[in-house]
Amino acid sequence: MKLEVVVLAAGKGTRMRSALPKVLHLVAGKPMLSHVLESAQKLSPDHIHVVCGHGADQVREYFSHDLTINWIFQAEQMGTGHAVCQALPDISTQSTVLVLYGDIPLILPGTLQRLTDEARDGSLALLSASFDNPHGYGRVVRDPDNAICAIVEEADASSDQRKISEINTGFIAAPAEKLKDWLDAVDNNNSQGEYYLTDIVGAAACSGTPVKGVICEDILEVMGVNSRSDLAKAERNFQRREAEKLMDAGLTLDDPSRFDLRGQLEFGEDCRMDINVVVSGTVKMGKNVFVGPNSQISDSEIGDNVEIRANSIIEGAYIADHCSVGPFARLRPGTELATGARIGNFVETKNAVIGEDSKANHLAYVGDASVGQRVNIGAGVITCNYDGANKHQTKIENDAFIGSNTALVAPLTVGEGATVGAGSAVSRDVPAGQLAVTRAQQTVKDGWERPQKNKTSKGESSQ
């Protein structure tokens, strides 16, 4: 039987107090809806239908790259039952329908698979969970034989029903043909004046269709996001889950509660991350890599035995084995460090290839540059790569020495073994093995006296 997924993503999210549609708010660097769609896609459904409403143009634009999504517009938000009805005309009657929510981002594919499997025989399957404090949730009502017979929303529940701890998560799986019949029987005769999807439980029970409950053991999977506070909780819950998986795979996290993964991380043996490290995009690390506190790494590859010291930012870079970076270094896109290279504190690189055992230990900018092996780049050195319209290349060959406080005005080549004296502004090529110095000659004036302020009797400057 085919599987078709319906994701409800039409709500405004009033309590978010934001112009951004609720499902586009980020968890781990991605919209909540992205997380839900990724979980759905892992079930290999035949179709995914997303019901959107508030901010529909923004939502569609964000996911415009995904041509597999069937977008359905819900002009009026009249409840979850009404939302699912909008999708039914596009769904095959021979399908099993799985209903998900764009603002419940932590649901796992394994849980959804269990739910879907229970509906394969034509039953209605719903996902429930037990909360110590079920306030705000619809309650799962069971008959004396412990069979599910109804879902009652809290606003419509009796005092006894509100004592029930088993709650409805909203996730259901059902045969499409029966789902249509059940939804046709749903009305909006309730305190909210809405068409509840949950009312199909009673309709299914009345029609003799088995209603199967699937228990979600981890309640964090089904926690919805309705406020900024909920969003922060979802973020921390996601990060804790990812941290546990990484530690189980062998990564040392000095404090798992102060680590953020916003993408994919691969790593070798004996890697360690200090506190407040943020990893985003796709990051690959070799063996024995240490990442110091407050560092950010995105879309980069790091070799074996590398040390990233505190407060460093690495983005779109390649770092070979035995390198050290930081503290307070910034490696921008296009940076490549060869084996043993060192980038120190307050050094910034961009589109720069740094050769083996070369070093820029402090206070330098190296951009649009090719640096050979065993080169020393002193403090305060900058490659002047931009003329206001175009970028130009600086080439520094093997064993060159660039003295402190030097400006290298590109395009420029500093030859092998050449030396540039401190304080120079070099705008012409430096031949191999030669010394280039452009600073003015120092002079000393004998008998010079520093000007002194005239003091009043009160110690104040005289005007």
The SS3 assignment for 353 reads strand
Say if CB 384 and CB 357 are below 8 A apart.
Answer: no
Residue 189's contacts (CB-CB under 8 Å, 6 or more residues apart) are: none
So which residues are the catalytic ones? Answer: 362
Which residues, listed in sequence order, are joined to residue 225 by a DSSP beta bridge?
A: none
Asked, as a colleague might, if the bond just before 109 is cis with ω within 30 of 0, I would say no
Helical ranges in 104-224 per DSSP H = 109-118, 176-184, 200-206
Say if CB 281 and CB 263 are below 8 A apart.
Answer: yes
- Distance CA(60)–CA(33), nearest Å, equals 11
Which amino acid makes up residue 347?
A: V
Say if CB 203 and CB 186 are below 8 A apart.
Answer: yes
Residue 139's contacts (CB-CB under 8 Å, 6 or more residues apart) are: 151, 152, 154, 157, 161, 162, 164, 166, 167, 168
∠ CA 112-225-115 to the nearest 5 degrees?
10
* Burial (CB count within 10 angstroms: exposed 0-12, middle 13-18, buried 19+), residue 2: middle
Sign of CA dihedral 131, 133, 136, 139: positive
- Distance CA(205)–CA(415), nearest Å, equals 85
